[in-house]
Amino acid sequence: MISEELQQLLLQYCEPEDELLQHIDRETNLKVLMPRMLSGHYQGRVLSMLSKMISPQNILEIGTFTGYATLCLAEGLSANGTIYTLDINAELEDMVRENFAKSPLNSKINYIIGDAQESIGNIKETFDLVFIDADKKNNGTYYDLIFDQVRPGGLIIVDNVLWSGKIVKNAQDKDTKNISSFNDKINADQRVEKLILPVRDGLFVIRKK
């Protein structure tokens, strides 16, 4: 969505990745299918900044992948805070747990493998921040499931809402239509304030009133 020149400028004027995040980026690109699902440096710094701005006690992440965004979000946790991160891909579990074990934030991370819709029902917490980055067709389902558990003033952030520019082009494939319907659902929801940040593949930042 943005030029390579602008991307390089943005990276020049944001905080650097630490060594562990650089390692996760390299390992994901070398060993994992669809490495573009990784949040990456700039988006990771955006997630970290948003988390730090509200110092959350409890974060819920739906879609762990290789753990990059998890660690970025966890940087903002309050002293006794916890991030619950949910993923269905058991094949990546060993890699992800190894990555988390290398982080000083490891004790704050509750990594849960299984169906996210079932896992959400088992977590009896109020969330300050939720990051939805899983199977896109269920964005609306996840949003509805977690909404009542988000505190007033809390944030819900949803990734990939521009879908490689296909939303702008009004593409008619099934995936694009699903994401467009979700975007319209949020736009019509009077319980929240919202805006889309054109960061990487589009971040919908939603604040519960």
User: 138: pLDDT confidence band, cut at 50, 70 and 90?
Assistant: very high
Whether the full predicted model's pTM is greater than 0.85, yes or no, is yes
pLDDT in tens, 79-134: 999 999 999 999 999 999 999 999 999 999 999 999 999 999 999 999 999 999 99
pLDDT in tens, 19-65: 999 999 999 999 999 998 999 999 999 999 999 999 999 999 999 99
Say whether pLDDT at 137 is over 90. Answer: yes
Q: Which residues contact 188 (CB under 8 A, 6 or more apart)?
A: none
- Mean residue pLDDT of the chain comes to 95
Q: Render the burial of 49-66: b for 16+ CB within 10 Å, e for the rest.
A: ebbeebebbbbbbbbbbb
Q: Which residues contact 60 (CB under 8 A, 6 or more apart)?
A: 83, 84, 85, 86, 120, 123, 125, 127, 129, 130, 131, 146, 149
Helix, strand, coil share (%) of the chain residues, nearest 5:
45, 20, 30
Q: In this predicted structure, what is the pLDDT of residue 160?
A: 94
CA distance 92 to 57: 27
Report in angstroms the alpha-carbon separations of 77 from 120, 128, 134, 204: 20, 10, 22, 21
Q: In this predicted structure, what is the pLDDT of residue 176?
A: 86
Q: In this predicted structure, what is the pLDDT of residue 83?
A: 98
Q: In this predicted structure, what is the pLDDT of residue 4?
A: 87
CB count within 10 Å of CB 140 equals 17
Q: In this predicted structure, what is the pLDDT of residue 164?
A: 82
Say whether pLDDT at 1 is over 80. Answer: no
Find the mean pLDDT for residues 169-178. 85
Say whether pLDDT at 170 is over 90. Answer: no
